[in-house]
Amino acid sequence: MTPLSVVIPVYNERDNIAPLVREVVLHLRGHVAFDIVCVDDCSDDDTREVLAALKAEVPELRALAHRQRCGQSAAIRTGVRHALSPWIATLDGDGQNDPADILRLLDQRSETKNNVKLFAGWRVDRRDSTSKRLASRLANGIRRRLLRDDTPDTGCGIKLFERAAFLDLPYFDHMHRYLPALMQRAGWRTVSVPVAHRARNAGRSKYTNFGRALVGMRDLLGVSWLIARSHVAVADEIGARRQE
């Protein structure tokens, strides 16, 4: 089986990150060769110290730290750039994604054609507040209508994608919320896979509904412009026989 790198962006998750990393190890050891890359986005609690101590317990773990806070998309990209494997699984650092679902995504990949480069988690039973669920449902509806990416849930943190395809995408802040549309823009197919969702055990969300909506509308218009102005160019070598 193709080796896997698990990338986890974290910001002020001192009480959640160690249990999450241990769960990843529990579910993946013996099933797939893997490493874990945690990227601390300049936490102001002791998340970094927790990660440093955890390295002695988990040999598969590598921990990186931004020198200044750059956001979740930047943390994911940092982790992907430092990853050792050709395929990447991502998890949110708050523990709301179930690491057991990584194996479900890997099984889906083994049954799918090679032109699928992203398997996106789909939280069919969300464990968030009513206001957060309603805001997410509204945002997803607007996004699907405008981008036509046929993806029911782009905000889910658990995803599986090809490293090379991801690094070829245009980078911008909050891009992680538009990965299906960006992958499709690049000429690849994407698949949504139902996954579990859990309540947060400790800490609090780093986003508000209003703040997410304000930034999301600007990003949505930008991604819509990117899609409208893009073409997938396919080239043939001159003089070479074209294979059927």
pLDDT at 33: 97
Q: How far apart are CA 183 and CA 181, in angstroms?
A: 6
User: CATH homologous superfamily of domain 4-228?
Assistant: Spore Coat Polysaccharide Biosynthesis Protein SpsA; Chain A (3.90.550.10)
pLDDT at 164: 98
Q: Of 157, 192, 194, give the one whose Cα is nearest residue 177.
A: 157
pLDDT at 138: 65
Q: What is the residue whose two structure tokens read 């889906």?
A: 108
Give the pLDDT band (50/70/90) at residue 243: low
Examine the pLDDT at 219 and tell me if it is beyond 80.
yes
Q: What is the pLDDT of residues 46-60, one digit of tens each?
A: 999 999 999 999 999
Check residues 213 and 26 and name the one with the higher pLDDT: 26
Q: Where are the domains of the chain?
A: 4-228
Q: Which helix (H) or strand (E) holds 63?
A: strand 61-65
Residues paired with 119 in a beta bridge: 160, 191
Residues listed for the chain: 244
Rg of the chain, C-alpha, whole Å: 18
The set of residues, in sequence order, having a beta carbon less than 8 Å from that of 103 and lying 6+ positions away, is 27, 28, 31, 32
pLDDT at 119: 98
pLDDT at 172: 92
Mean of pLDDT values over 84-109: 97
Which of the residue ranges 84-88, 114-118, 212-216 would you say has the lowest mean pLDDT?
212-216
Q: How far apart are CA 219 and CA 3, in angstroms?
A: 33
Check residues 207 and 16 and name the one with the higher pLDDT: 16
Q: How far apart are CA 212 and CA 224, in angstroms?
A: 18
- Proportion of the chain above pLDDT 70, given as a percent: 85
Mean of pLDDT values over 97-108: 97
pLDDT at 111: 94
Residues paired with 231 in a beta bridge: none
Q: How far apart are CA 77 and CA 88, in angstroms?
A: 11
Examine the pLDDT at 131 and tell me if it is beyond 80.
no
Q: What is the pLDDT of residues 12-71, one digit of tens each?
A: 999 999 999 999 999 999 999 999 999 999 999 999 999 999 999 999 999 999 999 999
Q: Of 51, 76, 77, 48, give the one whose Cα is nearest residue 62.
A: 51
Residues paired with 189 in a beta bridge: 116
Q: How far apart are CA 172 and CA 242, in angstroms?
A: 37
Q: How far apart are CA 213 and CA 61, in angstroms?
A: 34
pLDDT at 2: 75
Examine the pLDDT at 207 and tell me if it is beyond 80.
no
Mean of pLDDT values over 217-221: 79
